[in-house]
Amino acid sequence: MKLKKLRDKLLDLVFPPLCASCDEPTGNHDALCDECLEKYAKEQKIKCRTCHMPASDCSCSIGNGVHGLICSTFYTHYEAGGDRVTEKLIFSLKRERDDKLCDFFAREASAKVMRHLHMMKLDVNRCVITYPPRSESGIRKYGFDHARLVAAGISHYTGIPLAVTLDRAGGDEQKKLTGSERLRNVQTSLRIYDKADVRGLTVFLFDDIVTTGATVGTASSLLKEAGAFSVIPVSIARTENRGR
């Protein structure tokens, strides 16, 4: 362990850690520089246009059977060059494996999950954390599953066991599809993993982005059909409804 810490310090001297948002040196081991971290904190306070609550407290309907979403902030899009720090981070999270960024989001989500655990007086031993796996095309293109990495981090920080409960058979990346196409795509490609056992458990379901709710809605239905006591979606961000 001491050798690893020494190695990390030497690497940081030669290759200073860069902010995942602006590419400026962070000066420490965090994923963000102080300026971008401050911007991210402000973005978490963006309010819903309907209920005027931040995303962490917004209970407005998303659709596709998504209820009780635990979320950090809103976003408008995650194309390259987006103005918000959150958008830049999500764009990076999906395309370049960055363990510090995954850890950052895991810590952010874990704080909200722990709050929910305490509020609902849930026993972590009767809970699991899981995730809809990335599409096969996404794995081939980028070489990793970002949802699994963040979910594993949430497990580490909360003590909730990580469970592989869902599997994919083909399917396309959701970002390329319309709302109706997303729903058809996930309904035909997502299924319960044959060794999964969620009977009687509270399942925290992590998905990085909730847009139409097609993925978490379908996954929640499958998990409940498999015997889950309840399913609680957890996300970094949800779509800001520009029509409101």
With 0-12 CB in 10 A as exposed, 13-18 as middle and 19+ as buried, what is 23? exposed
- Predicted local distance difference test score (pLDDT) of residue 4: 57
Largest CA distance in the chain: 54
Could you give the CA distance from residue 181 to residue 142 in angstroms, rounded to a whole number?
Answer: 22
Tokens encoding 68: 């009780």
How does pLDDT run across 84-109, given as a tens digit for each residue? 899 899 999 999 999 999 999 999 99
Give the global pTM: 0.85
- Residues in a beta bridge with 137: none
- Is 152 domain-assigned? yes
Q: How many separate domains does the chain show? A: 1
178: Cβ–Cβ under 8 A, 6 or more apart, which residues? Answer: none
- Is 209 domain-assigned? yes
State which residues form the domain around 106.
Answer: 54-239
Mean pLDDT of 31-54: 92
40: Cβ–Cβ under 8 A, 6 or more apart, which residues? Answer: 21, 32, 73, 85, 86, 89
Q: Is 181 within 8 Å of 189 (Cβ atoms)?
A: no
* Average pLDDT taken over every residue of the chain: 86
Crossing angle of helices 146-158 and 85-95, rounded to 10°: 110
Tokens encoding 179: 């709302």
Spatial CA neighbour of 208 closest among 136, 128, 106, 119: 106
DSSP state of 16: -
What CATH number corresponds to the domain at position 127? Answer: 3.40.50.2020
Mean pLDDT of 144-154: 98
Q: Which residue has the higher pLDDT, 78 or 123?
A: 123
- Is 43 domain-assigned? no
- Is 9 domain-assigned? no
- Is 187 domain-assigned? yes
